[in-house]
Amino acid sequence: MEVKYPEIHVRLVGTDSNAFSIIGTVTKELKRGGATDLDIEEFQAEATSGDYDHLLQTVMKWVTVEQDD
Protein backbone atom coordinates (compact mmCIF):
# COMPACT_ATOMS: atom_id res chain seq x y z
CA MET A 1 0.00 0.00 0.00
CA GLU A 2 1.41 3.37 -1.03
CA VAL A 3 1.15 6.09 1.61
CA LYS A 4 -0.05 9.45 0.31
CA TYR A 5 2.08 11.50 2.74
CA PRO A 6 4.89 9.13 3.83
CA GLU A 7 6.94 12.01 5.21
CA ILE A 8 4.23 12.76 7.80
CA HIS A 9 4.63 10.54 10.85
CA VAL A 10 1.82 10.09 13.35
CA ARG A 11 1.99 8.28 16.68
CA LEU A 12 -1.44 6.91 17.62
CA VAL A 13 -0.41 5.67 21.05
CA GLY A 14 -1.94 8.08 23.55
CA THR A 15 -5.04 8.95 21.51
CA ASP A 16 -7.11 6.71 23.83
CA SER A 17 -8.38 4.73 20.82
CA ASN A 18 -10.92 7.49 20.31
CA ALA A 19 -11.88 7.94 16.64
CA PHE A 20 -12.31 11.71 16.96
CA SER A 21 -8.95 12.03 18.68
CA ILE A 22 -7.26 10.01 15.94
CA ILE A 23 -8.86 12.12 13.20
CA GLY A 24 -7.85 15.30 15.02
CA THR A 25 -4.26 14.14 15.48
CA VAL A 26 -3.88 13.12 11.84
CA THR A 27 -5.56 16.32 10.62
CA LYS A 28 -3.18 18.43 12.72
CA GLU A 29 -0.16 16.58 11.33
CA LEU A 30 -1.47 16.84 7.76
CA LYS A 31 -1.77 20.61 8.18
CA ARG A 32 1.70 20.81 9.72
CA GLY A 33 3.08 18.69 6.88
CA GLY A 34 1.70 20.99 4.18
CA ALA A 35 -1.33 19.02 2.98
CA THR A 36 -3.86 21.06 1.05
CA ASP A 37 -7.25 21.91 2.52
CA LEU A 38 -8.81 19.74 -0.17
CA ASP A 39 -6.65 16.75 0.82
CA ILE A 40 -7.54 17.25 4.48
CA GLU A 41 -11.25 17.34 3.64
CA GLU A 42 -10.80 14.19 1.54
CA PHE A 43 -8.99 12.43 4.40
CA GLN A 44 -11.70 13.37 6.90
CA ALA A 45 -14.51 12.27 4.59
CA GLU A 46 -12.82 8.93 3.88
CA ALA A 47 -11.91 8.37 7.54
CA THR A 48 -15.50 8.89 8.71
CA SER A 49 -17.14 6.82 5.98
CA GLY A 50 -16.89 3.49 7.75
CA ASP A 51 -16.22 1.71 11.00
CA TYR A 52 -13.24 1.99 13.35
CA ASP A 53 -11.18 -0.51 11.34
CA HIS A 54 -11.83 1.53 8.20
CA LEU A 55 -10.62 4.64 10.05
CA LEU A 56 -7.33 2.96 10.98
CA GLN A 57 -6.84 1.64 7.45
CA THR A 58 -7.47 5.14 6.09
CA VAL A 59 -4.94 6.67 8.47
CA MET A 60 -2.31 4.14 7.35
CA LYS A 61 -3.11 4.96 3.73
CA TRP A 62 -2.56 8.69 4.28
CA VAL A 63 0.38 8.95 6.73
CA THR A 64 3.17 6.88 8.22
CA VAL A 65 2.01 5.46 11.54
CA GLU A 66 4.83 5.15 14.06
CA GLN A 67 4.99 1.84 15.88
CA ASP A 68 5.41 1.67 19.64
CA ASP A 69 8.80 0.11 20.37
Can you give the pLDDT at residue 12? Answer: 86
CB of 9 closer than 8 Å to CB of 68? no
Cα–Cα distance for residue pair 3/64, rounded to 1 Å: 7
Cα–Cα distance for residue pair 3/65, rounded to 1 Å: 10
pLDDT at 68 over 90: no
Q: What is the pLDDT of residues 1-52, one digit of tens each?
A: 799 999 999 998 876 789 999 999 999 999 999 999 999 999 999 999 999 9
Domain ranges of the chain: 5-66
Burial class (CB in 10 A: 0-12, 13-18, 19+), 47: buried
Backbone angles phi, psi at 11, to 5 degrees: -105, 115
